[in-house]
Amino acid sequence: MSNFLVIFTCMLAGILCKHLRNFPANSAQTLNSFIIYLSLPALVLSQMPQVLKTLDLHGLWWLPISMAWIAFLISYLFFLFVGKKLKWSRAKIGALILTAGLGNTSFVGFPILEALIGPHAIPIGVLVDQPGSFLVLSTIGIVVASFFSGAQINPRVIVKRVFLFPPFIALIIAVIWASTGLMGIEILTPALSKIASTLVPLALFTVGFQLRFDLKILKKRWIALSMGLCFKLILTPAFFAFFYLKLLGGNDLATHVTVIESAMASMITSAVVATEFNLDTEMANLMVGIGIPLSLITVPLWNYFLFSR
């Protein structure tokens, strides 16, 4: 319950501060830079080494890890096709690929998993989130953001942006940390965890700060926004329910957790990255700002119809 209160409180604070003009107009850009350069790298360094050390490569852990990669690929193909047909801008297509293809599988996902399934679902949720969602964002997500940002499409430039992206650098360090077992570095984990804890409140605040619930904007944006929300909250979990439950015949805990995680709303950080790469910030923030409250209704419904009968 406390996590849900943080979601609404921080997002509402951002909206109020925007309207009351308590913060400078460029506050969102400044806070986004803090998230990209400090909060996200700290999150990776504090969580990924332990996840990688405990990863059982001989089990069925590929199932939760694969979901985010498959979802992002489908999102890319879907919105690239639809965007070209409807003559959307590259910035809009890129923003929708990022926000519809990546789910909020940790901050929103973990408390929902605990409420619907139980605390034993969290370790599998971590696998969905870290080697799955977050790794997708830090690798091919950055490539896609670079490609659709309107910058010069140069493979060297894209590779440079990916490898110089702070969370990706942190990911490489985390892999080395986990594989070599560097002694003494664990003493940094408590400090890194404290820095990482700033990610969610700051990200939610910036989303709220940049949201504009103007009826004129919603009327102008409703087609693309509706398609993005339907894809993320309805089509994606429907696909994975069919794929994992029907085709693969899964009925274990890993399958249950993976399908429910696929139904989560857009990843907050995907909107931050969309802003960082000058994509359609307004669309990205609408996907997050409207999608998260809706998911608090749609995810329990998916769980009820798929697993509670």
Q: Which residues contact 264 (CB under 8 A, 6 or more apart)?
A: 103, 104, 105, 108, 109, 112, 295, 299
Task: Count other Cβ atoms within 10 Å, centred on residue 240.
Answer: 23
The answer to whether the beta carbons of residues 61 and 211 sit under 8 Å apart is no
Q: Give the pair of three-digit tokens for residue 101.
A: 């293809």
Task: Walk me through the domains of the chain, giving residue ranges and CATH numbers.
Answer: 2-307 (1.20.1530.20)
- The pLDDT score that the predictor gives to residue 94 is 96
Least confident of 64-78, 134-148, 197-211, 239-253: 197-211
Q: Which amino acid is at 98?
A: L
Dihedral angle of Cα 27, 31, 36, 39, to the nearest 10 degrees? 180
Query: Residue 152 pLDDT > 70, yes or no?
Result: no
Dihedral angle of Cα 265, 266, 267, 268, to the nearest 10 degrees? -100
Mean pLDDT, all residues of the chain: 85
Once rounded to an integer, what is the mean pLDDT over residues 94-106?
94
Task: Count other Cβ atoms within 10 Å, centred on residue 157.
Answer: 12
The answer to whether the beta carbons of residues 79 and 96 sit under 8 Å apart is yes
Once rounded to an integer, what is the mean pLDDT over residues 272-280?
90
Sign of torsion over alpha carbons 248, 251, 252, 254 = positive
The pLDDT confidence band at residue 103, using thresholds 50, 70 and 90, is very high
The answer to whether the beta carbons of residues 65 and 125 sit under 8 Å apart is no
- The pLDDT score that the predictor gives to residue 72 is 97
- The pLDDT score that the predictor gives to residue 181 is 66
pLDDT, tens digit, for every residue of 155-180? Answer: 776 677 778 878 788 878 887 877 77
By residue count, the chain amounts to 309
- The pLDDT score that the predictor gives to residue 82 is 96
The answer to whether the beta carbons of residues 235 and 41 sit under 8 Å apart is no
Query: Residue 59 pLDDT > 60, yes or no?
Result: no
Distance CA 305, CA 295 (A): 15
Q: Give the pair of three-digit tokens for residue 256.
A: 């249950």
- The pLDDT score that the predictor gives to residue 182 is 63
Question: Mind giving me the DSSP string for 171-202?
Answer: HHHHHHHHHHT-TTGGGGHHHHHHHHTTHHHH
Burial of 108 from C-beta contacts in 10 A (0-12 / 13-18 / 19+): buried
Q: Give the pair of three-digit tokens for residue 62.
A: 């590929």
More confident residue, 73 or 182: 73
More confident residue, 200 or 287: 287
**Beta-ladder partners of 103:** 266
Q: Give the pair of three-digit tokens for residue 207.
A: 């989303």
% of the chain residues with pLDDT over 90: 33
Task: Count other Cβ atoms within 10 Å, centred on residue 307.
Answer: 16
- The pLDDT score that the predictor gives to residue 272 is 87
Residue with tokens 């969905």: 128
**Beta-ladder partners of 266:** 103
Residue with tokens 């951002």: 14
Distance of CA 55 to the CA centre of its chain: 21
Distance CA 195, CA 35 (A): 10
